[in-house]
Every structure is written in structure tokens, then in C-alpha cells.
Structure 1
């Protein structure tokens, strides 16, 4: 990997480019060029959530890579679906995929398909104007008791968080297994996410595998450690 090869960072549900603000300066200090693609409805993008599906987010990342090659794609949480779809369509631009506590898509199945009808019905019931709101403080601590997000962190996040377009949960990400792209994959598990984001024995799949002593949002709660594992995997 050369200094001009980008590290492309994509955050999970509710997050935007802002979520990596604590990580990118560290990567820059190590001599890396970073990109944080703007996905529709995230950050300060005003696209109505009801008009956005997974394919739109894949297109947003795809367009950001138009003039890029040899990129390392880093995906957090639900962005595993986005990154997997980008990899399937544009593997020639990607040298490595790093998944941080990420959801793993199954060929031909949407996130709703994988999670099941009961979860899909519950999540749909929460939707407002085509999007599912992010967690309240109480919901966050109940669902992710080891999240590590302090009150100051949460207040900062609330200034930027956006609701998740429900359409992103309804479309399959890939048609073939991730291995079909022929690109090395690394999985980083956050140990304080309980239960784990996914049940996967990455070692058995031939992937690189690392852990972080962090909750589900390590780019916010453990930026130095997150940057360090990205650098290690990107240069391996």
C-alpha cells in the first residue's frame, strides 16, 4: 500500500463522515490518505430518507472511488452491507476490506431477511417518514451496556446523528459470497459488544482477525486503538 492509496471509512447506522473525526488525524499522522464518503441522508445531506435504499448508498461510495485504485475499505456495523456490495461491483479498486464489528450480508438476502420477520416488523413499526430513529440514551445503554459512550460523547453525537432509511434494510447487498471477490478480508470484533455483532469464526474463513477492547462505536470511544488496528491491517 502506498501513501496515495486511500483508506475509505464508512460508518454504521446513523453515522456520517463526522463519526471518523477522531480517527482520521491519527491516520494522517501515519502518512495515510483518508476518504469518508458522504452517503445520502447521513451527516448534513438533506435527501429524504424515504427515497433512499441500499443501492443508493452503494452508488455513493462507488462514485467516490471513480478515480481511485488500491483502496482499503473500512466498514463499521451496518456498513458491512454497503462495503460488501461495493466490493462485489468494484473489486478492481479495492485491495482489502476491513470490517469493524460489522454485519455480514448473505447472498441474495436483505438485512431484514437475515434478521427475520419479527425483527423486520418491529423495526418497521419504529419508522417515521421512511427512517428509523437512532437510540435514546436509555435504549443505547440497555441494548449496548458496554458501549463506553460518555455523556459528552453522546451529546456530540446527537448533534450529527441521522435516522436510518428503512429502505437500506430491504435490499440484498450481494449475490455471491464475499470470498468470490478475491480480496483479502479482515474482521475486527469489539469485545464489549454483547452479544457479538455477528457470530463468526473469521479464522476459519481465512480472514485476518483482530479484537478491540471497546464497545460497538470504537471510532468514537477508542479512536487511537481503532486507528492502530486499521494501520496494522492496511499494511499487512
Structure 2
């Protein structure tokens, strides 16, 4: 892979460009060019969450990809929904898609549709001003018991984390199954996420497949390993 083919890094719920601060320098040191687009409401963007839906994030990523048809798009966790929508709507906009412990959308169904009424009711009950706050330390350890996020990591994350707009959970991402016809697709499973973020069979889907001995946020807890698996798949 050459530096004129950028690696575009998109984090999952609550994350922004800051979440890649430990990974991007490693990629850059290996001669690669990284991009960390600012999606509305994430990081220091002040767009009201109630005004933001999945389509807005798809538009933000699509804008970042403009002029970079040979880019590798790396999507973590919920960003799998965003990346899948970008690939379906702009099939020639990226060269490769790398999904890191990503949630995989189902055609015609929103994240809430897939997760079911119980999860939808719980998440909605937590919502405030059109968004769902990120986990407390107790919630994080209950839902992801082997997350490997240290107290220092968590304190750093809390300085930057943002709530997730409800609108991103209510809109379907794709109308047809995600496939590797228009771009090379790879999936990276974090082995310490239980249950898995997605039930992926690389052979069945025809995707390349890798694993990381890490929790669900490997860019925070295992940045060197995360960078190297990205380099491997983007080569």
C-alpha cells in the first residue's frame, strides 16, 4: 500500500477522531497516510444530537472520501453500519473496507430493529435530548467484562466521549446484503468481546478474516496490534 491511498479511520459509538490517537501515529510512522473524519456530534463537533441521523454520518464519511477512490475505510463497532451504507450508496468510493469488531447491519432494518424491543426500550429510556450517553464504569464492566480498559484509559476517554444520536439507531443502513463485490472486505474479531459483536463466517461471506486478542476497543487497549492488523489487511 502506498501513502497516496489513505487509511480512513472511523470509531464506534461515542468515539471521535481522538480515539485513533494511539494508532494513527504508528501507521504514519510506517509511511501511511491516515484520515480521521469528524462526524457530526462526535469529538468537539457541537451539532445537536437530536438533529443527527445515520444518513448524516454517511454523508460525513462520503465527503471525507471524495477525491480518494483508493482509500481503505476502517470501521469499528457501530461504524460498521455507517461503512456498509457508504459502500452500498457509493460502491466505487473505497478500495477496501476493514471492519473491526463491527456490528453488521441487516437489509432494511435499523440497529433498533435488529436488537429488538427490549434493547430499544432500554436505550430509549436512557436517552436525553435525542442521544444516549456512553457507559458508566459499572455498565462498561458489566456489559464487556473483559474490556481491558484501565482506569487511566477510562479517565482519558471520559474527557472526549460523546453521546450517540438516537437517529443513528433508527435508520436502516442497507437495502441488500453487504458483500465484497465492489470493494475488498475484511473482518477483525476481538476475541475478548463476548458475545461476539457479529457472528461472522469468513468462508461463508467470502471475506478475509483476522482476530485480535483484545477487548472491544482495541485502538485504546492494543494500539500496536491494531495498527499492524490494519497494515496487514490494507497491504
Instruction: Report the TM-score when normalising by structure 2.
Output: 0.98
Residue 88 of structure 2 is matched in structure 1 by: 88
What are the Cα deviations for residues 164-187 of structure 1, in whole angstroms up to 9, with x where unaligned? Answer: 001100000011111175211100
Partner secondary structure for residue 120 of structure 1 = helix
Q: Distance in 2 between matches of 1:4 and 1:182?
A: 20
The DSSP-based 3-state class of the residue aligned with 2:95 is strand
1:171-218 deviation line (CA, Å, top 9, x unaligned): 000111111752111000000111111122122211100000000000
Equivalents in 2 of 1:2, 1:29: separation in Å?
13
Q: Distance in 1 between matches of 2:31 and 2:194?
A: 34
Instruction: Work out whether residues 149 and 221 of structure 1, in 8 Å CA contact, stay in contact via their aligned partners in 2.
Output: yes
Alignment of 1:32-181 (within 5 A): 32-179=32-179, 181=181
Please give the root-mean-square deviation of Cα atoms over the aligned residues, in Å.
Answer: 0.9
Matching residue of 2:188: 188
Aligned to 1:207: 207
8 Å CA contact 1:88, 1:181 repeated in 2? no
| 8 A contact 2:92–2:183 mirrored in 1 | no
Tell me, in whole angstroms, the C-alpha distance in 1 between the residues paired with 2:205 and 2:17: 30
The 4+ residue runs of structure 1 with deviation greater than 2 A are none
- How far off its partner does 1:66 sit? 1.4
Q: Say which SS state the counterpart of residue 179 (structure 2) adopts.
A: helix
Partner of 2:16: 16
- Alpha-carbon distance in 1 for matches of 2:93, 2:122: 37
Secondary structure at 2:92 match in 1: helix
What stretches of structure 2 of length at least 5 have no aligned partner? none
